[in-house]
Amino acid sequence: MLGSNIFTGPPDVSIELSPGCIFCSIAEGRTPCYKIYEDNDYLAFLDIHPFVMGHSLVIPRKHYDALPDMEETAVGELFTVAARVSSRVTRGMSADGFRLIQNNGEAAAQVVKHVHIHIVPMKLEDKDRRFGRLSPTDKEFREVADAIIRHS
């Protein structure tokens, strides 16, 4: 997936990680998120520390640690949902393209051990820029989620 190093490393999310799986908790509705897509088996929501506004995550509701643990059909479904949601994120953020990032294992900077695909909307003027992590306000998150959902 992402060969470029224009993104900085993962944030310190240790205080947000419970002993259980945070993404399972989100999928079950026990932990809130800014949801932008859901169906019976998959869910997409805004990343809490986005690289850019609109940075989203797509997850299966079922827990798998990483991509190699998934059945092939589920891998196909996950990427199909990611492609669908990517178009909405790109339109909603008036972006020119998008990156998909999919980290597996500590060496790949996988912090949350529940398989997920990052969708990062990209604007042409930002294509060579390095990104840190943002901490949007609740209002900003809501506006971004609304803009994406409007393009669904």
Active site residues: 116
109 binds, among Zn ion, ligand 5GP, none (CB under 5 to 8 A by kind): ligand 5GP
x/- mask, ligand 5GP, residues 67-106, rule CB under 6 A, reads: ------------------------------------x---
**Is residue 53 near ligand 5GP by the rule CB under 6 A?**
no
Sheet with 97-101, edge to edge strand ranges: 35-38, 42-46, 56-60, 117-122, 97-101
10 binds, among ligand 5GP, Zn ion, none (CB under 5 to 8 A by kind): ligand 5GP
How many residues at the interface with ligand 5GP, by CB under 6 A?
A: 17
Whichever of 46 and 124 has its CB closer to ligand 5GP, that residue is 46
Listing DSSP states for 94-151 in one string gives T-SEEEEE---SGGGT--SSS--EEEEEE-GGGTT--B------HHHHHHHHHHHHHT
3-class SS at 17?
A: coil
Pick from 78, 112, 122, 147 the residue near ligand 5GP by CB under 6 A: 112
From 10-18, 64-72, 87-95, 136-144, give the range in contact with ligand 5GP by CB under 6 A: 10-18
Ramachandran bin of 22, using left for φ above 0, alpha for ψ from -120 to 50, beta for the remaining angles: alpha
Tell me how far apart the alpha carbons of residues 75 and 60 are, in angstroms, rounded to a whole number. 9
**Is residue 59 near ligand 5GP by the rule CB under 6 A?**
no
**Is residue 110 near ligand 5GP by the rule CB under 6 A?**
yes
DSSP assigned state of 45: E
